[in-house]
Chains A and B, each alone.
Chain A
Amino acid sequence: MKRALYVLWAVAFALGAWGVWERLTLGHRLAGYGSYVVWGLWVSAYIYLVGLSAGAFLLSSLVYVFGLQRLERIGKLALFTAIVTLLVALLSIWFDLGHMARFYKVFTSPNFSSMMAWMIWLYTAYFVLLLAEGYLVFRPDLVRWSRDPARTPMQRAVARWLTLGRTALDAATLAAERRAVRVLGTVGVPLAVAFHGGVGALFATVSAKLYWHQSIVPILFLTGALVSGGGLLTAMVAFAWAPRDDAWRELTRVLGRLLLVLVLVDVLLEWAEFSIPLWYGTSPEGHLLRQVLWGPYWWVFWIVHLGLGTAIPVALLVAHGRDPVAVGTAGLLVAVTFMSVRLNVVIPAQLEPALRGLERAFVGPRLVFQYAPTVHEWLVTLFVLAVGAALLWLGSRVLPLIDGKEVAR
């Protein structure tokens, strides 16, 4: 099983690396997006991955800020997942830029009337906070690991390096760090909400796209983050947790309950999103929503999102909430299929010509109001996901993600 996963990863990484090589040498020429549909799979993958990050972080704050002891043991895993998913999200959006080498300009010449500039600066602050909080949370265990003869020399060396030389383990230091973690976590909650709400607002503020220009969009981004991040953590705990004891069984049960509530809240908001513009059938964005429901990609909504991503997980969580495998499967389905929701946010809004007949005015492969990701785009996204998987695996080897004593009380 493990070997098969390694082989699968190696194949994914190799294919992905080929896609990245194509991207770096040929630019945007192999991509399926063009001049009318300008944002495609990579932007969707970006908002999907930052959603996972914000969701995982907000769940970790349940431990470090709100002191929810039943979830205490997932605190570190959640925090590390938030860091990794944010990093690979940035990788995805970096490949999407027309000029990758100019990314630094968002820092050197920012324009703060732009919601995108706000989002970038907020996630930079969020990233710094994640690193600081991560350091403080992991440091005591890293100090113990660096002295633990049961660890491999490699693990001890990495642990020693990651402590940055601070090796004190006395009660006063630990108490001070616990306080610092609580402060950082407390600051982090509004920051994560602002940052991911900002991602939603990046779309919602665009008045040219009625499909995005709705107040509920940033809220849906936040609930979506919690749902997808919650699903991912649930799956990780259910399938990748080392000690399969009663505490693990209880933890998956609690996470499953939490996930069920989050999914149901999200369904409610989604009902509002669709039913209100569609009810009388005369809303300007109505036909784009109908396109999502009954267009050529109807199956993305009905089968992937509502079927695999909502109905089956809800059924599993309701009927088998005590079975860790069922709960983990539900979490995995929710997390993986949530990409369909992100695609259905990004793409449909761009499928409508601003002026009737524009689609026939001056034609060419990039002047169309249609989009499907090309193989090239899938390969680059595969690379991004493979890097994410590798970082998570690496973290599980060199960081005390699961075992060890928790710092929060």
Chain B
Amino acid sequence: MAPTRAHPTSTRPQAAGTRPETAQTPTTHARAAAPRRRFLRTLGAGAATLLALDVLESLAAAPAAAAPPAAAPAPATTPGPPAPPAGGSDAAPHDVLVRMRADLKRALRKPATQRRWAMVIDLRKCVGCSACTIACVAENKLPPGVVYRPVVEEEIGTYPHVTRRFLPRPCMQCDNPPCVPVCPVAATYKRPDGIVAIDYDRCIGCRYCIVACPYNARTFDAGERYTDGTPEVSPVERLPAFEYGQRRTRQHDTSPVGNARKCHFCIHRLEAGLLPACVSTCIGRATYFGDASDPDSLVSELVARPNVMRLKEELGTQPRVYYLL
């Protein structure tokens, strides 16, 4: 299901403190509204001959009708590398993955410093299957004790009125990250694209950043393997991972063993034009990803919804992961 475009942002009520700063800047706002205004002007001129009732009806329908031109440009008309063919092996033409891949390609054509990655997780769609957790473990070859994106389950109510809530918890990639200033050797840092990264070769393994994270989003690689103590270490556990675009095979005492580790929005996949593993594998399409500095991206639309929230907003960490309730 592709989310439909909402009313023009200028007329929509906003949830205080939940909008990303990029959507609030006048320039991006104007850029977003321009095609719509042109469209409305044409529409208005053509409708001048119509009855007043008809005019009102067409104006009322305009925002919905305006969606296709304002949404992601079609691959055929866009310069640069073509987007994956719609209706590919894992995505139907109307699948949000198609839109998000196009958003991603568009973002990659911008200078790296102008991208602002953001993730939106729709809690109403999450069924708690943990496919994202496992996809992440497989993608990044995570060992025992290390997890980047657990799905937190909560049971609410008492029988017979019981519901469950599922809350996937990646790294929030905070704009004001408490884990970054605490690092004694500056091994963890905020990238211009918003991702909080770790320099594995600089990290001394003091774990101060882990205690400083208010989301428990960092874990420690103690050097274990799932197949320790079995006759053979699984070949899978001897495969390299490609976090941060670096090829690393886990071995005793060499990084990332002994380091703090965390979700990095699969930077290595992003830079190859792929969505993060958790996004691609979400069976309910509950996780959205994209460039929040691009007003035409899906995430930019979603973070302006009234039902958006962020975890522990009161701490002032400014997470770049948003939840839809």
Contact A106 B185 (CB under 8 A): yes
- Interface 1/0s, chain B 58-72, versus A by CB < 8 A? 000000000000000
Partner of B207 from the list A39, A209, A358, A362 (CB cut-off 8 Å) is A39
Chain B residues within an 8 Å CB radius of A355 = 152, 167, 169, 215-216, 311
Q: In the complex, which residues of chain A have a beta carbon less than 8 angstroms from the beta carbon of B54?
A: none
Decide: A365 and B220 in contact? CB cutoff 8 A: no
Q: Which of B182, B186, B220 contacts A109 (CB 8 A)?
A: B186
Establish whether residues A98 and B182, one from each chain, have CB atoms under 8 Å apart when the complex forms.
no
A243 close to B (CB within 8 Å): no
Measured between alpha carbons, how far is A113 from B187 in the docked complex, in Å? 13
A358:B184 contact, CB within 8 angstroms = no
Number of chain B residues close to chain A: CB under 8 A: 52
Given A111-B183, A111-B184, A366-B222, A99-B213 contact (CB < 8 Å): no
Q: Is the CB of B145 within 8 A of A366?
A: yes
Contact with A along B249-260 (1 / 0, CB 8 A): 000110101111
Note all chain B residues with C-beta closer than 8 A to A350: 211
Considering the complex, give the chain B residue whose CB is closest to the CB of A107.
B185
Q: Is the CB of A114 within 8 A of B182?
A: yes
| Stretch in contact with the other chain, from A115-123, A141-149, A315-323, A386-394 | A115-123
A111 CA / B182 CA spacing, docked (Å)? 8
| Interface class of chain B by DSSP | loop
Say yes or no: A361-B150 contact (C-beta < 8 A), given A206-B212, A354-B215: yes
Known contacts A105-B185, A361-B169; is A98 also within 8 Å of B144 by CB? no
| Of B130, B202, B211, the contact of A38 (CB 8 Å cutoff) | B211
Most buried by A among B221, B222, B223: B222
A264 within 8 A of B: no
Closest Cβ of chain B to A401, distance in Å, is: 34
Interface string of B172-209 (1 = CB under 8 A from A): 00000010011111110000000000000011111110
Please state if B186 and A364 are interface contacts (CB–CB under 8 Å). Answer: no
Choose one: A26, A106, A358, A366; the contact of B144 (CB below 8 Å).
A366
A402 to B154, CA, bound (A): 64
| Total A-B Cβ pairs within 8 A | 161
Q: How far is the CA of A331 from the CA of B292 in the complex (A)?
A: 62
Q: Whole-angstrom distance between the alpha carbons of A353 and B217 in the complex?
A: 11
Indicate whether A31 reaches chain B with its CB closer than 8 angstroms.
yes
Question: A290 near B: Cβ within 8 Å?
Answer: no
Chain A hits for B215, CB < 8 A: 354-355
Q: Are B182 and A34 in contact (CB under 8 A)?
A: no
Cβ of B22 under 8 Å from chain A? no
Q: Taking each of A29, A103, A202, A361, which has the highest tally of chain B beta carbons within 10 Å of its own beta carbon? A: A361
Asked if residues A28 and B222 are in contact (CB atoms below 8 Å), the reply is yes
Q: How far is the CA of A367 from the CA of B220 in the complex (A)?
A: 10
Asked if A29 and B224 make an inter-chain contact with CB atoms under 8 angstroms apart, the answer reads: yes
Cβ-defined contact, A365 with B211, below 8 A: no
Closest to B151 in A: A361
**A99-B258, A113-B181, A357-B152 known; A35 vs B211 contact (CB < 8 Å):** no
Distance from A16 Cβ to chain B, minimum over Cβ atoms (Å) = 21
Contact between chains at A357 and B204 (CB < 8 Å): no
B216 contact from A206, A354, A364, Cβ within 8 A: A354
Instruction: Find out whether the CB atom of A364 lies under 8 angstroms from the CB atom of B145.
Output: yes
Q: Which of chain A's residues have a CB closer than 8 A to the CB of B167?
A: 355, 357
Counting chain A CB atoms within 10 Å of each CB, the highest count among B184, B203, B207 belongs to: B184
Nearest-CB residue, chain A, relative to B226: A364
B259: A residues at CB distance < 8 A: 98-99
Q: How distant is the Cα of A361 from the Cα of B128 in the complex, in angstroms?
A: 10
Q: In the bound complex, how far is the Cα of B257 from the Cα of A273, in angstroms?
A: 38
State whether A97 and B205 are in contact (beta carbons under 8 Å apart), knowing that A106-B185, A355-B167, A357-B153 are contacts in the complex: yes
Chain A residues closer than 8 Å to B211, beta-carbon distance: 38-39, 206, 208-209, 349-350
Known: A27-B223, A27-B252, A27-B257. A357 touches B154 (CB 8 A): yes
Chain A proximity of B229: nearest CB distance (Å): 11
A98, B206: Cβ atoms closer than 8 Å: yes
Whether the pair B258, A116 counts as a contact (CB closer than 8 A) is no
Name A346's closest neighbour in chain B (CB-CB). Answer: B211
**A38–B182 CA distance with the chains assembled, in angstroms:** 15
Q: Which residue from chain B places its CB closest to the CB of A121 in the assembled complex?
A: B184
Enumerate chain A residues within 8 angstroms of B255, measured Cβ to Cβ: 99
- In this complex, what residue of B is CB-closest to A106? B184
* Structural contact, A114 and B208, CB atoms closer than 8 A: yes
Q: Provide the residues of chain B in CB contact with A356, threshold 8 Å.
A: 152, 154
Ranked 8 nearest A-B pairs via Cβ: A98-B205, A366-B145, A98-B258, A35-B219, A361-B150, A362-B150, A111-B186, A208-B214
Pick 15 A–B contacts, CB within 8 A, sort by A.
A28-B222, A34-B222, A35-B222, A38-B220, A96-B206, A97-B204, A97-B205, A97-B206, A102-B202, A110-B184, A113-B181, A208-B211, A361-B152, A366-B219, A367-B147
